[in-house]
Each structure stands twice: as structure tokens, then as C-alpha cells.
């Protein structure tokens, strides 16, 4: 969350095929090389060409976790962007556009227009994408940055395409840069320089890197947005890191391959979105029955069914909670941001190895496809690894029982192929010696023993999971409760509420299972008012929280239109609930993106 002196937001709008990602990537590199923090959100459609795309990038001299509430600088690559978004631009903001093709209609008073005669500046170039490079030069100039930093980024971006392409783009950016300096008022506050250069990554990159750091050696997936970025990272780095990556024909095969690999003793994971996870659920249960540690990632998007494939929602919670049939143990965790997603992966793998059960990560499009700055020094690629009760060398087996009913409930786990350690792995219920109990007769005593054994081991390992902690003053007027990706917007809303005379604190929930219900109940029992913030229609987390704790709350802030929360949505909702105007506040999206 930024409270720094420099907090700047720019947006780039156009249609698919207009190369919107390129100027965004170039500018992002410029900022992080200057040591500035950033957070991005890309609103795009699920079609290859056409459809409105709107990329928003927030830059600050301090950490930022959301794309913010405002737009200071807008780059319009087509008329549709100008028509949709001009109303969002407030006094003091700038709009950059190709004056050969675009008109800005009815801007608010005080909005500065920066028309760029692209044809003149490019010498009549027929390359439509070259307008993007001209515009990047204009934007860098408006923000008071030097051209040399931009030139470095352009060289890095285009060097693989040859020197002629590099030279052309540098020249066009220089033309836009010089024209802006000569014709338009620059922002009064220029972009500063931070203490050291930063890196940029996405949440999907972080999940993949976290898995690699945890020792993952097998990854399987069927491409499904918004989880596909995990597959891309794994495939790009598999050879270097010694990870076997398989793109499978469907999510059923994906899940079963991951479980099979995990059974051999290697750390294994897979990722999908809600529709794909629906196909994986029987396999999740089989991992629970066979006591095989494996990690599934669900990157949520708007549902049900195919839903809105490129939009975000926290709508899969009850599917995750109810995955597969019967009672069985699994860890469920919802990281709060990109760095937390990275750190969660080794932590989760250690837990599932010790408890010999599946684990599920719940992310969403906001985290996974967002791009964020990170201090490379905070990325620990050598975390502590705990494989639990794993037998890797043959010793005297003494009548090895894979599912031995131990005091802790944790049974000795031998790698397949070790001499003397023979056992059967099946999805039917079994006894300690892995014999299916229905092969003799359905023995109720053995069935009860195995159910209780699996529950006992989970309770033991679950003690390693930290309880959630309250952030902010104990005597706050209101406690805001959120889970997963709502962390950033709630943190910023807490600061905004201070300016409105309302003191708020924040209880972020990361571990869904185990919930640590006693700790949550104790914290909330001290709250004057409780408001839950979540990105779905029915209040899925509230229903789960109440079922586990019995806690009732005073209000809800919910959003389910496909777009993520902005901080002011939460602030307005809290004020409305506190004033008694509503108990369920649903913010109105100011513009359709």
C-alpha cells in the first residue's frame, strides 16, 4: 500500500491486436529500473482480435498492492477508448492520443489534451503499431523522466529483432519525447528514483517459482485462463531446473498424472481454473484416500460454467471446500498477494508432505495475471524443505505397513520400488496393510480406524499453520474481514477511512482449512462492528465462517461484475453500512471495461 510522495496511475486502452502489452511492458521496465514499485491490472476480453482492452499501471515510491482509484495519464490507441474513459479523467490529468485518427469529446474542465500528430512524427510510416512507441516517448516526457532510461528499455525489448528495429523504435520514441517537451505541460511532480532496481513478476510466475523453490519436479496442466501463466513459466524453465512438464489432454488426466508423479516421491503440482478443477475433484479425493501429498492450484475466474473467462471472482470457495465426496483431509490456502503466493508454496508442500494429503491453493485473476514489482532480495529460492515421514533407503522393513495406525496418525511412507516395502495403492478403503477392506468383508471397525487415523494426522500437522492476526488498532470502530486477494484493497480502504473519521482494523484470512476458528472467534468477539469484503454474490466466505464459528456480522461489501475491487469501493461500502443505509453494499462500476 502506498502512502508515498509519488503515487501515479497511467492507463493504456485499445483493442486486441493493437500491441497494448508492449508499451505497458516497456514502461514497467523503465519504472522498476528506477527502483519504483508498481501494480498492474489488465481488463481484456476472451477473443483474439477486437474487443476492448484496458491496461492500468500504478507506480509509487512505496509498495503498492492495488491498481488504485484514479487515472493520471491516459493513452488512447483507438476512438473507443477515448469514448469509454474520458469521463474518468479529472482536472490535472493528461490524455495522449493520435490526433490523426482520434478525437476527444467533452473532457472535464482542467484535463490536458496531448494530441500527437503521429503521421507527421513518423514520416508517414504505414506501421500502425509505431504509434505506440511514439506515445511511450510522450508519456515518459510527461512524467519528467530522462530519455536514456527509456532508450535502455527499448533496446532490451527489441534487440532480438535486429538493430534496424531497435533504431526505428528509439527514433520514434525520441520524436514523441521531444514533441511533448515542446508542446505540452509536464506533470509538476516527476517520477523519482528509488533506492535500488526492482524486478517485475506476475502471480502465476510467483506460484510457479514458489513450486520450483519447494522442489517440484513434475508439473502437469491443461491450458485454462487465468492459470496458464503457471504452465508458461514451468515450460520455459523446465530444462534448466530439471522439472518434467506435461501438457495433458484434459484436467482429469492432469490431476491423475500429478498424483501418480507424487506417489513416486517427487513433489508434484498442477494448476487450472474453476471449470478445470470441477473435473479434478474425484482425483483430489483419491489423493486423500491414498494419502499422497500433491498440490492443486485453482486460479478463480467468473463462473459458473465457462462464465467470463477473462474476468475475476472469488466464486470457487464452496467448490474447493466440497471437492470430492466423503470426509477427508486437505489443506486449503488463499495467498494475499504475489510475494505471499511465492512463499506459500514451500510452506504448503511441507505441510502436505508431513500430513500425507492433498493441498489446494486458491488464487484468482487479480493476483495471478496482475504484474507487480518485487525486491529480488525477498525471493528465497532455497527455503526449508521438510519431507515428513519419507523412507528413501531400504532397511529392515519388519513387515512394512503403509497405512499403519500410529499414535500420531502419520504412517511410514516408502518410495515405490524399495526392496521389502511392498504395498497396494488404491482408492478403495483399506486396512493398515493396504488390503481393501471390502475384499474380506466390509469391516466397520477397520473403516472407523482408518477414518480416525487420517483425521488425527491432519489435526497434528495443522498445528503448524499460523493463526490469522488482526492488523490495526484493537479499539477500532469496525473490523474488516477478507480473504485472499482482497488484502490490498482493504489495507488501502483502512487508510482512506481514517480521512473520513472512521478507525478500522483488518483481519485477513489466508488459511481456509484449517481455519483456526477459536482464534478467529476470539478476535472478532472484541470487534465493535464486523464487515466482510469478498468478490462474489452470495457471501461464500461469510457462510463458511459462520458455519465454523457461529459469528454474525454487521454488513457486507460484495462485488461480482467481473472487475476487481478498487479501494474506494470498500471505503464507500463501509461508510454506507456504518450509516445504516444498507447491510449489503455492492459498488457500481463507473465504466464498462
Q: Quick check: pTM over 0.85?
A: yes
**For residue 514, is pLDDT > 80?**
yes
User: In the chain, what percentage of residues exceed pLDDT 90?
Assistant: 89
pLDDT at residue number 103: 97
Enter the CATH code of domain 200-378: 3.40.50.970
Q: How confident is the model at residue 220 (pLDDT cuts 50, 70, 90)?
A: very high
Chain segment 228-280, per-residue pLDDT in tens: 999 999 999 999 999 999 999 999 999 999 999 999 999 999 999 999 999 99
Q: Are 564 and 312 in contact (CB under 8 A)?
A: yes
d(CA 287, CA 283) in angstroms, rounded, equals 6
Ranges of CATH 3.40.50.920 domains, the chain: 478-585
Q: How confident is the model at residue 17 (pLDDT cuts 50, 70, 90)?
A: confident
d(CA 20, CA 39) in angstroms, rounded, equals 16
d(CA 91, CA 430) in angstroms, rounded, equals 70
What pairing do the DSSP bridges indicate for beta strands 331-333 and 359-364? Answer: parallel
Compute the CA torsion angle 21, 23, 25, 26 (nearest 10 deg).
160
Burial bucket for residue 49 (CB in 10 Å: 0-12, 13-18, 19+): exposed
- Strand, helix or coil for residue 267: strand
Q: Are 320 and 277 in contact (CB under 8 A)?
A: yes
pLDDT at residue number 394: 85
**What's the CATH class of domain 478-585?**
alpha beta
pLDDT at residue number 441: 81
Q: How confident is the model at residue 78 (pLDDT cuts 50, 70, 90)?
A: very high
- Residue 324, number of CB atoms within 10 A of its CB: 17
**For residue 560, is pLDDT > 80?**
yes
d(CA 378, CA 374) in angstroms, rounded, equals 8
pLDDT at residue number 81: 96
List all residues 6 or more positions away from 246 whose beta carbon is below 8 Å from its beta carbon. 218, 219, 220, 221, 257
- Write down the mean pLDDT value for the chain: 95
d(CA 65, CA 288) in angstroms, rounded, equals 35
- Strand, helix or coil for residue 456: helix
Q: How confident is the model at residue 126 (pLDDT cuts 50, 70, 90)?
A: confident
Chain segment 425-484, per-residue pLDDT in tens: 999 999 999 999 987 788 999 999 999 999 999 999 999 999 999 999 999 999 999 999
pLDDT at residue number 399: 85
**For residue 296, is pLDDT > 90?**
yes
**For residue 3, is pLDDT > 70?**
no
Q: How confident is the model at residue 4 (pLDDT cuts 50, 70, 90)?
A: low
**Cell numbers given for 195:** 533506492
Domain 7-183 belongs to what topology?
Pyruvate-ferredoxin Oxidoreductase; domain 3 (3.40.920)
Three-class SS of 48-65? CCEEEEEEEEEEECCCCC
pLDDT at residue number 375: 96
Ranges of CATH 3.40.50.970 domains, the chain: 200-378
- Tell me the helices (H) and strands (E) count for the chain, helix number first: 19, 22
Chain segment 375-408, per-residue pLDDT in tens: 999 999 999 999 999 999 888 667 899 999 999 9
**For residue 1, is pLDDT > 80?**
no
Among 48-52, 104-108, 326-330, 553-557, which stretch is predicted with the lowest mean pLDDT?
Answer: 48-52
How far does CA 419 lie from the centroid of its chain?
43
In terms of residues, how long is the chain? 593
Name the H helices within 242-337.
251-263, 274-290, 317-321
Ranges of CATH 3.40.920.10 domains, the chain: 7-183
Amino acid at each position: 500500500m502506498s502512502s508515498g510522495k509519488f503515487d501515479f496511475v497511467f492507463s493504456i486502452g485499445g483493442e486486441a491486436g493493437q500491441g497494448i502489452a508492449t508499451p505497458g511492458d516497456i514502461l514497467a521496465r523503465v519504472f522498476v529500473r528506477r527502483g519504483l514499485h508498481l501494480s498492474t491490472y489488465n481488463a481484456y476480453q476472451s477473443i483474439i482480435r477486437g474487443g476492448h482492452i484496458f491496461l492500468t499501471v500504478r507506480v509509487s515510491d512505496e509498495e503498492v498492492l492495488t491498481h488504485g482509484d484514479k487515472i493520471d495519464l491516459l493513452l488512447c490507441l483507438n476512438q473507443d477508448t477515448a469514448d469509454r474513459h474520458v469521463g474518468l479523467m479529472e482536472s490535472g490529468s493528461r490524455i495522449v492520443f493520435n490526433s490523426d485518427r482520434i478525437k476527444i469529446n467533452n473532457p472535464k474542465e482542467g484535463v490536458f489534451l496531448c494530441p500527437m500528430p503521429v503521421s507527421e512524427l513518423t514520416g508517414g510510416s504505414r506501421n500502425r503499431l509505431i504509434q505506440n512507441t511514439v506515445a511511450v516517448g510522450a508519456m515518459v516526457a510527461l512524467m519528467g523522466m530522462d530519455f536514456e532510461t527509456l532508450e535502455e528499455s527499448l533496446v532490451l525489448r527489441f534487440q532480438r529483432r535486429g538493430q534496424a528495429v531497435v533504431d526505428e523504435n528509439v527514433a520514434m520514441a525520441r520524436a514523441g519525447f521531444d514533441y511533448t517537451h515542446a508542446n505540452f505541460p509536464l506533470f509538476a511532480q516527476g517520477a523519482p528514483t528509488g533506492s535500488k532496481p526492482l524486478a517485475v513478476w506476475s502471480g502465476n510466475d510467483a506460484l510457479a517459482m514458489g513450486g520450483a523453490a519447494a522442489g517440484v519436479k513434475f508439473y502437469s496442466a491443461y491450458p485454462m485462463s487465468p492459470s496458464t501463466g503457471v504452465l508458461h513459466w514451468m515450460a520455459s524453465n523446465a530444462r534448466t531446473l530439471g522439472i518434467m512438464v506435461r501438457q495433458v489432454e484434459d484436467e482429469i488426466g492432469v490431476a491423475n498424472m500429478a498424483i501418480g508423479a507424487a506417489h513416486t516421491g517427487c513433489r508434484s503440482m498442477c494448476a487450472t481454473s474453476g471449470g478445470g478443477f470441477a473435473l479434478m475433484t474425484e482425483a483430489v479425493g483419491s489423493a486423500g484416500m491414498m494419502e499422497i501429498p500433491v498440490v492443486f492450484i485453482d486460479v478463480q475466474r467468473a463462473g459458473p460454467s465457462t462464465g467470463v473467462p477473462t474476468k475475476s471472482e472469488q466464486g470457487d470457495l464452496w467448490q474447493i471446500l466440497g471437492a470430492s465426496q466423503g470426509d477427508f483431509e486437505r489443506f486449503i490456502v488463499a495467498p494475499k498477494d504475489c510475494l505471499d503466493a511465492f512463499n506459500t508454496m514451500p510452506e504448503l508442500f511441507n505441510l502436505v508432505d508431513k500430513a500425507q494429503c492433498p493441498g489446494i491453493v486458491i488464487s484468482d485473476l487479480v493476483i495471478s495475471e496482475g504484474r507487480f514489482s518485487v525486491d529480488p532480495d525477498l525471493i528465497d529460492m532455497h527455503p526449508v524443505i521438510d519431507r515428513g515421514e519419507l523412507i528413501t533407503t531400504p532397511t529392515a522393513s519388519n513387515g512394512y505397513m503403509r497405512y499403519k495406525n500410529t499414535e500420531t496418525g502419520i504412517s511410514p511412507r516408502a518410495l515405490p520400488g524399495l526392496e521389502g516395502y511392498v504395498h497396494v495403492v488404491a482408492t478403495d478403503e483399506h486396512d493398515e496393510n493396504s488390503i481393501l477392506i471390502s475384499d474380506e468383508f466390509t469391516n466397520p471397525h477397520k473403516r472407523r480406524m482408518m477414518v480416525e487415523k487420517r483425521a488425527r494426522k491432519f489435526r497434528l500437522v495443522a498445528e503448524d499453520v499460523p493463526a490469522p492476526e488482526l492488523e490495526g488498532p484493537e479499539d477500532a470502530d469496525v473490523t474488516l474481514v477478507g480473504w485472499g486477494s482482497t488484502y490490498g484493497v482493504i489495507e488501502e480502504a483502512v487508510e482512506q477511512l481514517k480521512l473520513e473519521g472512521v478507525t478500522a482494523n483488518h483481519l485477513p484470512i489466508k488459511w481456509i482449512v484449517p481455519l483456526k476458528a477459536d482464534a478467529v472467534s476470539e478476535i472478532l468477539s472484541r470487534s465493535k462492528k464486523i464487515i466482510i469484503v469478498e468478490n462474489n454474490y452470495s457471501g461464500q466466505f461469510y457462510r463458511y465462517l459462520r458455519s465454523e464459528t457461529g459469528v454474525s456480522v454487521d454488513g457486507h461489501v460484495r462485488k461480482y461484475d467481473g472487475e476487481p475491487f478498487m479501494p474506494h469501493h470498500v471505503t464507500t461500502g463501509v461508510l454506507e453500512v456504518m450509516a445504516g443505509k444498507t447491510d449489503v453494499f455492492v459498488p457500481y462500476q463507473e465504466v464498462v471495461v
